[in-house]
Structure 1
Amino acid sequence: MHRIPYPPNKGDKIRSYHLLKHLAKRYHVHLGTFVDDPDDWQHVERVKDLCGESHFAALNPRTAKLRSLGALAGNRALSIDYYRDTTLDEWVDGVTRRHGIQRVLVFSSAMAQYAMSLRSARRVIDFVDIDSDKWRQYADNKRWPMSWLYAREARRLLHYEQQVTQEFDASLFVSQPEADLFKRLAPAVQDKVGYFSNGVDTDYFAPGHQFDNPYADDHDVMTFTGAMDYWPNIDAVQWFANDIFPSIRQAHPAAHFYIVGARPTAAVTALAELPGVHVTGTVPDVRPYLAHAKLTVAPLRIARGIQNKVLEAMAMAKPVVVSPQALEGIDALPGRELLLAGDAQSFAETTIRQLTMPDRTIGSHAREKVVSRYGWASNLSRVDALLEPTAPATPTMLPAFS
């Protein structure tokens, strides 16, 4: 089972798709999943080709949020009710009876509810990030009453994550720091906790491709890429556009900041009113925007796990200026393979320096790091080992993610 995170995150969709492709090479996979973005329906047939039986449940975010409020009357995390669906529950029950499922892989905490009763199967969960800690960070950055609501969600969801890890055979996270943090939060289950890193398709994200330039010739561009209805991304671009970019543009008038990503909120769209700031909305291919940028920025102040946006830019041999939060979990050396900046002033100074006196070795070193460290095949081999305990067995059926 795999769920698109609440709120949605493009990086997790990439991780889940590569995980599905990997498993389909070895197992007969049955897939139950939600579709929360109308644009994603165009990919359904391609995903079905990788599966035996499949079930795609439409998820209306507005309806799901209303449904999740019922959890306030009980002792449940809102995220669990948000992803509760009778048709998906019935599909899991039916496919289990028809195929005698022996292995189950769940993607993300809220989807574990669909596998809690499958105790005869070997169950592995890929939490990806510690969702409960993400809610804690939200609480720390919001005012009451949202701070109270998010803090409640953090407590309830952590309890649920601990319960799931106790019941399942193994759990995975996106990086060693993420796994280590969860071990500290849930010491009673730390022997069941591991990780595998995200990867990058380094043939697809490669500097050798030729793309038309989407920018004006006199623009020295820095980009931010990501889903622009995702609050950590919204916070990042607001901080950069309001508190960092004006200093950059004053020192380097040709500088332009492009926010590239689907579903920009009204708050993000409003940033385009600032001098030199551009909001593209959905683009058919993000690579031209990376290829023709001078550099990319990842000024995240709230983050969990590994940022795919950083790895993709590094794979394109682009210098990336990151915050400490965006660097977390990425095995890269600041000053050699990317640039690190901790506050608004250092972010501006680092960016100005790279624009005016570019270190042309950083991009090539970044590309080398991604190629050597972040291949999908080698990272996903950890999942194979967990699904196959001790003695080799003939692969049977595997219901995978929703």
Structure 2
Amino acid sequence: MKILYLSLRFPYPPFSGDKIRTYNILKHLSYKHSISFVSFMLSPDEKNQINKLQEFCKEVEIVEFSKLKAYSNCIIRSYSGEPFQISYWYSPEMQKKVDNLMEKDGFDLVHVQFFRMAQYIKKYTDRRKILDSGDSFWLNLSRRSKLDRGIVWPLLKLEASKVRIYETEIAKWFDQVTMVSPLDMQCLLSNDSNLPISVVPMGVDLDYFQPGSKSDDLNLLFTGTIRYFPNKDAILYFYNEIFPLIKESVPNVKFYVVGNSPPKNIQNLASNGDIVVTGRVEDVRPYFDNSAVFVCPLRSGSGMQAKILEAMAMGVPVVTTSMGVTAFDAFIDKDIMVADDPKLFANKVIQLLKDRELRQNIALNARHLVEEKYGWSSIVDRFDKIYENALANRS
């Protein structure tokens, strides 16, 4: 099958959730299909990484992204009624690139990642189209607006209401829409129960992320893109309200925050001596091996957490919130531990730190879970079935 794959961001290196998803889907799709790939280029360095995708894509095209133009679009198109997200990512150059590819190549199917890219393919009503929307951005913004009461709060509320309408309406232009979790799917179905939506969860590279030799150090770990609001909020919430309770019982515990783009207020925490903020690292696996417990105290966000999948695959027991576990088909207290109250969360972590056998049991169960349900091969098999159904329903 000849597939045109439209992605918001260039997926290499795959250091964030959407890039991880895109990179691995492309890699596994290429075993059966011919892929033409298009995305924005947010950094000049990405141009040097094109060869990484050419290993499994027939062609790779990128369009330079301009923040100046993006902000100008938001002002110029502010009266259009569309979400700022759509104006921000609108590019005549991208539209031209997509149009040229659609004219010269007889694609069997177009795979679009994220609703922001759907605007470039919407007009092709005669083509088979799949929208991998991932998470519900309306849910993401709604949750953030309950916590972020800064000067952006009115804009968050306005954008959430616009995105809710747009996510629902754009889905109608596609043969099938995929979301990473049942909750994200239900958010769209609550607006229109007839939308063609199914769940295709996140996956994890089971060969790359494998349990290694564990350190005896009682370290806690959090990973991710740190400037992203749900991650930043989770770290500050944990450090201020949960970590002190843990230290009362385990004084020598240390908290590692590993990931790119930590803002200043997170970096400044390192001066206290009980937290290490690394910034971006080339290989996160040694930090998993050096950790006793992975903590993910999310209070906002949406979708499915790649960081939790990676921790499970690495054999590190996870403590998260109800919000963090929602997308997982997991048994609580067997595969993963869950708590929403700061004291209960701290108690779960302390319990794991003080009980090596419990840590090992949960880690083993979690590894079995991701092997059974979240390997990329089985995830991409779901897309193959969706593609086949889309082709069959249009024939």
When residues 390 and 156 of structure 1 are mapped into structure 2, their CA distance, relative to the original with a 3 A threshold, is closer
Aligned to 2:388: 388
* Offset of residue 68 of structure 1: 2.7
Could you give the per-residue CA deviations for residues 107-148 of structure 1, whole angstroms, max 9, x where no partner exists? 001000110111111011000000122112222222264222
1:339 to 337, 345, 364: 337
The whole-number CA distance in structure 1 between the counterparts of 2:390 and 2:140 is 35
Read off the aligned partner of 1:149 and give its amino acid letter: L
Aligned to 1:294: 292
Aligned to 2:260: 262
Determine if the alignment matches structure 1 residue 372 to structure 2 residue 372: yes
* Offset of residue 69 of structure 1: 3.7
Aligned to 2:351: 353
* Offset of residue 19 of structure 1: 1.4
When residues 357 and 38 of structure 1 are mapped into structure 2, their CA distance, relative to the original with a 3 A threshold, is farther
Aligned to 2:282: 284
Q: Which has the higher contact order (CA 8 A, sep 6+)?
A: 1
Aligned to 1:36: 42
Contact 1:109 1:131 in 2 (8 A): no
Aligned to 1:225: 223
Read off the aligned partner of 1:147 and give its amino acid letter: W
Partner of 1:371, secondary structure, is helix
Contact 1:55 1:88 in 2 (8 A): no
Write the mapping of 1:14-29 to structure 2, written as runs, cut at 5 A: 14-29=20-35
Partner of 2:300, secondary structure, is coil
Read off the aligned partner of 2:246 and give its amino acid letter: I
Corresponding residue pairs, total: 383
Aligned to 1:176: 182
* Offset of residue 388 of structure 1: 2.2
Contact 2:139 2:301 in 1 (8 A): no
Partner of 2:389, secondary structure, is coil
State the percentage of identical aligned residues.
Answer: 30
Determine if the alignment matches structure 1 residue 130 to structure 2 residue 128: no
When residues 356 and 391 of structure 1 are mapped into structure 2, their CA distance, relative to the original with a 3 A threshold, is closer
Write the mapping of 1:103-182 to structure 2, written as runs, cut at 5 A: 103-143=109-149, 145-182=151-188
Aligned to 1:199: 203
The whole-number CA distance in structure 2 between the counterparts of 1:363 and 1:201 is 17
Contact 2:139 2:184 in 1 (8 A): no
The whole-number CA distance in structure 1 between the counterparts of 2:227 and 2:21 is 19
The whole-number CA distance in structure 2 between the counterparts of 1:222 and 1:135 is 28
Contact 1:238 1:271 in 2 (8 A): no
* Offset of residue 37 of structure 1: 4.8
When residues 336 and 38 of structure 1 are mapped into structure 2, their CA distance, relative to the original with a 3 A threshold, is farther
When residues 363 and 41 of structure 1 are mapped into structure 2, their CA distance, relative to the original with a 3 A threshold, is farther
* Offset of residue 312 of structure 1: 0.6
The whole-number CA distance in structure 1 between the counterparts of 2:277 and 2:331 is 30
Contact 2:167 2:188 in 1 (8 A): no
Contact 2:296 2:319 in 1 (8 A): yes
TM-score between the two structures when normalised by the length of structure 2: 0.91
Moved over 4 A (4+): 37-42, 60-63, 390-393
Determine if the alignment matches structure 1 residue 3 to structure 2 residue 18: no
Read off the aligned partner of 1:220 and give its amino acid letter: L
The whole-number CA distance in structure 1 between the counterparts of 2:136 and 2:245 is 35
Consecutive unaligned residues of structure 2, counting only runs of 5 or more, are 1-5
Read off the aligned partner of 1:243 and give its amino acid letter: E
When residues 356 and 144 of structure 1 are mapped into structure 2, their CA distance, relative to the original with a 3 A threshold, is closer
Partner of 1:279, secondary structure, is strand
When residues 286 and 43 of structure 1 are mapped into structure 2, their CA distance, relative to the original with a 3 A threshold, is same
Contact 1:9 1:230 in 2 (8 A): no
Partner of 2:261, secondary structure, is coil
* Offset of residue 39 of structure 1: 5.6
Partner of 2:70, secondary structure, is helix
Determine if the alignment matches structure 1 residue 97 to structure 2 residue 103: yes
The whole-number CA distance in structure 2 between the counterparts of 1:140 and 1:278 is 29
Contact 2:176 2:390 in 1 (8 A): no
Partner of 1:50, secondary structure, is coil
Deviates more, 1:383-392 or 1:143-152: 383-392
Could you give the per-residue CA deviations for residues 189-224 of structure 1, whole angstroms, max 9, x where no partner exists? 33x01111111111111014x69x7xxx8x521000
* Offset of residue 275 of structure 1: 3.8
TM-score between the two structures when normalised by the length of structure 1: 0.89
Write the mapping of 1:229-244 to structure 2, written as runs, cut at 5 A: 229-244=227-242
Could you give the per-residue CA deviations for residues 343-386 of structure 1, whole angstroms, max 9, x where no partner exists? 11111111112112231311111111111111112222222222
* Offset of residue 40 of structure 1: 4.3
When residues 239 and 45 of structure 1 are mapped into structure 2, their CA distance, relative to the original with a 3 A threshold, is same
Partner of 1:2, secondary structure, is strand
When residues 36 and 267 of structure 1 are mapped into structure 2, their CA distance, relative to the original with a 3 A threshold, is farther
Contact 2:73 2:88 in 1 (8 A): yes
Could you give the per-residue CA deviations for residues 247-269 of structure 1, whole angstroms, max 9, x where no partner exists? 21222111000000011111221
1:57 to 50, 63, 79: 63
The whole-number CA distance in structure 1 between the counterparts of 2:303 and 2:142 is 15
Deviates more, 1:78-87 or 1:36-45: 36-45
* Offset of residue 12 of structure 1: 1.3
When residues 4 and 391 of structure 1 are mapped into structure 2, their CA distance, relative to the original with a 3 A threshold, is closer
Partner of 1:206, secondary structure, is coil
Contact 1:77 1:157 in 2 (8 A): yes
